Amino acid sequence: MIGMIPRAIDIVGLCRPGKTLLVMGPHRSGKTTLLKQYLEAADLPSVYYDGGNLSVQAQFSVNDIAHLRKSIEGFAVIALDEAQDIPHIGMSLKIINDHSPETIVIATGSSSFDLRGQVGEPLVGRKTTCVLYPLAVWELLSADASMPASVAWRELLPNLLRFGMYPDSVLANSDREREEFLRELVDSLLLRDILMYQEIKDPGLLLQLLVLLAHQIGQEVSLSELGLSLGIRRETVARYLDLLEKGFVIFRLGGFSRNLRSEVTKKAKYFFYDIGVRNAVINNFNPLEIRNDGGQLWENFAIVERMKARAYKPVFANQYFWRTWKRSEIDLIEERDGTHYAYEMKLNPGKRNPGNTVRAPKEWAESYGDVSTFEVITPDDLLEFADYREQACDGSVSRSGRLSREGRSRLARRQHGAPARPRRCREPRRFLGGYSSR
Distance of alpha carbon 140 from alpha carbon 80, whole angstroms: 27
Quick one: 393 exposed, middle or buried, by C-beta within 10 A (0-12, 13-18, 19+)?
middle
Q: Is the pLDDT of residue 150 over 70?
A: yes
Across the range 60-85, mean pLDDT stands at 92
Cβ(298)–Cβ(345) below 8 Å: yes
Cα dihedral across residues 16, 22, 26, 28: positive or negative: positive
- Please report the pLDDT score of residue 241 as a whole number: 93
Q: How confident is the model at residue 396 (pLDDT cuts 50, 70, 90)?
A: very low
* Cα(96)–Cα(68) distance, integer angstroms: 8
Predicted pLDDT of residue 434: 26
Report pLDDT for 192. 66
Question: Which of these ranges, 134-138, 304-308, 358-362, has the smallest mean pLDDT?
Answer: 358-362
Could you tell me if 429 and 1 are in contact, meaning their C-beta atoms sit under 8 angstroms apart? Answer: no
> Residue 426 above 50 pLDDT?
no
The three-point CA angle 212-215-218 to 5° equals 115
- 127-131 and 250-255: which strand pairing? unpaired
Binned at pLDDT 50, 70 and 90, residue 167 comes out as very high
Alpha helix ranges (H) inside 164-284: 167-170, 175-190, 203-214, 223-230, 234-246, 275-281
Indicate the domain borders of the chain: 11-132, 146-385
Average pLDDT of the segment spanning 131-135: 95
Model pLDDT for residues 354-395, shown as the tens digit of each residue:
545 678 888 888 888 888 899 999 999 999 999 988 643 333
The pLDDT score that the predictor gives to residue 415 is: 45
Task: Answer whether 21's CB lies under 8 Å from 11's CB.
Answer: yes
Of 205-219, 365-379, 424-438, the one with minimum mean pLDDT is 424-438
Rg (CA), the chain: 23
Q: Which tops the pLDDT comparison, 98 or 416? A: 98
Residue 228 has pLDDT above 60, yes or no: yes
Q: How far apart are CA 103 and CA 73, in angstroms?
A: 10
Class assignment of domain 146-385? mainly alpha
Q: How far apart are CA 280 and CA 182, in angstroms?
A: 6
Please check the confidence at residue 292 and state whether its pLDDT lies above 70. Answer: yes
Beta strands in 203-298 (DSSP E): 250-255, 268-272
- Asked if residue 218 lies in contact with residue 299, where contact means CB atoms within 8 angstroms, the answer is yes
User: Which long-range contacts link 172-177 to residues 24+ away (Cβ below 8 Å)?
Assistant: 175/285
What's the confidence (pLDDT) of residue 285?
97
Q: Are 48 and 81 in contact (CB under 8 A)?
A: yes
Q: How confident is the model at residue 267, as a pLDDT?
A: 82
Mean pLDDT of the residues in the chain? 82
> 250-255 and 318-323 as β-strands: parallel, antiparallel, unpaired?
parallel
Q: Which CATH superfamily is domain 11-132 in?
A: P-loop containing nucleotide triphosphate hydrolases (3.40.50.300)
- pLDDT tens for each residue of 75-105: 999 999 988 888 888 889 889 988 999 999 9
CA distance 273 to 250: 6
CA-to-CA distance for 242 and 236, rounded, in angstroms?
10
Indicate the helix (H) or strand (E) that contains 106.
Answer: strand 104-109
* AA letter at 301: F
| Residues 143-169, mean pLDDT to the nearest whole number | 93
Rounded to the nearest 10 degrees, how much is the dihedral formed by the CA atoms of 397, 403, 406, 407? 90
Considering the entire predicted model, what is its pTM? 0.84
Contact 323, 241 (CB under 8 A): no
Mean pLDDT of 420-424: 38
| In contact, 134 and 273? CB cutoff 8 Å | yes
* 377: nearest Cα among 366, 388, 387: 387
Q: Is the pLDDT of residue 206 over 60?
A: yes
Contact status, residue 423 vs residue 395, Cβ threshold 8 Å: yes
Are 11-132 and 146-385 the same fold in CATH?
no
